[in-house]
């Protein structure tokens, strides 16, 4: 008996199912493409040991459309990467033609043709390791990550805390206000707000508690000219603008072109009216340039190892990650080079003629990038009448006691409820005693060798710092 002819209603339902299936397949296809692009960047940077962006920042960039699916694919692929490599080696399908296939963009089709061979190799690996399924293979590659609250910062340029708490409450999101930073809210761990309307319109920023402490420590006065020396991705810049109530001027410097775009997007979304983004190297700034000679406060958050946010960055998923490697990493050539750059940048920040407050911060837990940098610049800072001041006196974790005055420094503990951050606050004293001492030292050094005294360029500042350090052990003769 022939089946009944399809009705109009049946055709509509069938077309809807086909359309939905095609839409889902198309979405999955683009998610795979986007995940492949993120993975390529992550693995290339990791192989070169130059992680310029974290997994999360790459996935949640404006260019990625299907963020949730892309993030899941990237994380799962990185978790399975050792097993994937073993399977590919066992099948030996990556032959001489592989590069041609990859160049042609037919990789997914090629792997699908070899699906049976790949599954057979995986089954043999499971049998050899005496496990029944792939999840059991992954157990050895898993690194437990402590559950921490999700922090967000309210953008007071657009909205106040009560409005945000009411909006989040409508979706049954439990919210509590932070007892240290009024504009920071604490939410449940693992909550994904990247697509929330308040995030998309810039009313709230997905910024950690420790990161939010940096701009507050600088405490710029509305109307000042402020410099954010290494500004991307821009969360701290936007926070400065909010603290200054949109008044005065903030100059946000960034050298990297890709990060510059992220910075510009963050500022645009935040609605900050008083930020000028400058594409330049902070170290190349002439401190006497009319654009910079009236800068009163500087936020310096330079490139660092990121060791304090390795869990948030998902570094444990990277091929280069090794358990217990911190002891060696803190003494690595990379960290030493970073510390040399950080020292040079801090010396330069302190040498701006009108600057009164300088905050130095890192998202590192290594002494090399933190206390050691501060200790090395202290003689120079004191010669310019700067002193270390205690930010957030009620905060329990202070600097490592490696020099007198380290108790003024601030650390946050990544094992507790924040990222691992370090903050040092330099404030210029109003008296003139140290200034006279500094000028006297400069004259002595100038008479000895015909160097140019203050004002300093970045090289003369570095030279002067070294000369002052030597004076502590050897008196200069005239």
**Cβ neighbours of residue 229 under 8 Å, at least 6 residues apart?**
253, 282, 298, 299, 300, 301, 302, 345, 349
Q: Which two tokens stand for residue 242?
A: 């909010």
What is the three-class DSSP state of 249? strand
Distance from C-alpha of 267 to C-alpha of 451, rounded to nearest angstrom: 41
Q: What are the tokens at 104?
A: 């042609």
Beta strand 357-362 with 297-300 is parallel
The yes-or-no answer on residue 363 being catalytic is: yes
Sequence-separated (6 or more) residues with CB below 8 Å from residue 87: 118, 121, 122, 125
Alpha helices in 191-332 (DSSP H): 197-200, 209-218, 235-243, 257-270, 326-329
Q: Cβ of 143: how many Cβ atoms within 10 Å?
A: 12
Distance CA 471, CA 451 (A): 17
Which DSSP string do the residues of 304-369 spell out, in sequence order?
Answer: ---GGGTTTTTGGGSTT--TT-HHHHTTSHHHHHHHHHHHHHHHHHHT-TT--EEEEEES---GGG
DSSP 398: B
* Distance, CA of 277 to chain centre: 18
Helix/strand/coil for 74: helix
Catalytic residue among 80, 304, 363, 457: 363
Residues acting as catalytic residues: 363
């Amino acid at each position: 008996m022939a089946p009944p002819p399809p009705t109009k209603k049946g055709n509509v339902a069938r077309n809807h199912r086909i359309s939905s299936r095609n839409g889902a397949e198309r979405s999955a296809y683009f998610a795979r493409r986007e995940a492949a692009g993120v993975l390529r960047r992550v693995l290339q940077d990791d192989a070169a040991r130059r992680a310029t962006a974290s997994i999360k920042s790459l996935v949640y960039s404006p260019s990625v459309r299907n963020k949730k699916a892309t993030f899941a694919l990237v994380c799962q692929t990185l978790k399975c990467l050792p097993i994937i490599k073993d399977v590919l080696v066992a099948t030996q399908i990556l032959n001489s033609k592989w590069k041609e296939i990859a160049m042609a963009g037919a990789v997914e089709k090629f792997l699908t043709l070899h699906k049976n061979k790949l599954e057979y190799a995986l089954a043999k690996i499971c049998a050899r390791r005496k496990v029944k399924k792939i999840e059991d293979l992954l157990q050895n590659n898993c690194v437990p990550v402590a559950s921490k609250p999700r922090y967000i910062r309210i953008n007071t340029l657009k909205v106040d805390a009560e409005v945000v708490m009411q909006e989040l409450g409508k979706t049954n999101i439990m919210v509590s206000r932070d007892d240290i930073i009024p504009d920071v809210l604490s939410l449940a761990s693992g909550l994904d707000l990247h697509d929330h309307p308040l995030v998309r319109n810039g009313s709230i920023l997905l910024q950690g508690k420790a990161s939010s402490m940096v701009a507050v420590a600088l405490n710029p006065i509305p109307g000042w000219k402020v410099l954010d020396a290494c500004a991307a991705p821009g969360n701290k810049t936007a926070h400065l603008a909010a603290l200054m109530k949109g008044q005065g001027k903030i100059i946000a410097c960034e050298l990297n072109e890709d990060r510059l775009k992220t910075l510009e997007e963050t500022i645009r979304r935040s609605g900050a009216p008083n930020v000028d983004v400058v594409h330049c190297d902070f170290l190349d700034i002439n401190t006497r340039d009319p654009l910079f000679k009236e800068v009163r406060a500087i936020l310096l958050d330079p490139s660092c190892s990121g060791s304090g946010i390795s869990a948030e960055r998902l570094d444990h998923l990277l091929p280069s990650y090794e358990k217990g490697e911190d002891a060696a990493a803190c003494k690595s050539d990379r960290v030493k080079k970073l510390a040399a750059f950080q020292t040079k940048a801090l010396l330069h920040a302190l040498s701006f003629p009108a600057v009164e407050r300088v905050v130095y911060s890192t998202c590192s837990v290594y002494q090399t990038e933190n206390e050691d940098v501060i200790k090395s610049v202290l003689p120079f800072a004191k010669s310019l009448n700067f002193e270390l001041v205690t930010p957030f006196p009620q905060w329990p974790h202070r600097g490592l006691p490696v020099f007198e005055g380290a108790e003024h420094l601030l650390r946050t503990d990544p094992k507790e409820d924040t990222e691992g951050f370090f903050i040092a606050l330099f404030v210029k004293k109003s008296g003139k005693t140290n200034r006279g001492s500094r000028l006297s030292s400069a004259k002595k050094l100038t008479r000895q060798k015909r160097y140019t005294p203050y004002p300093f360029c970045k090289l003369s500042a570095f030279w002067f710092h070294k000369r002052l350090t030597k004076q502590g052990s050897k008196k200069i003769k005239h």
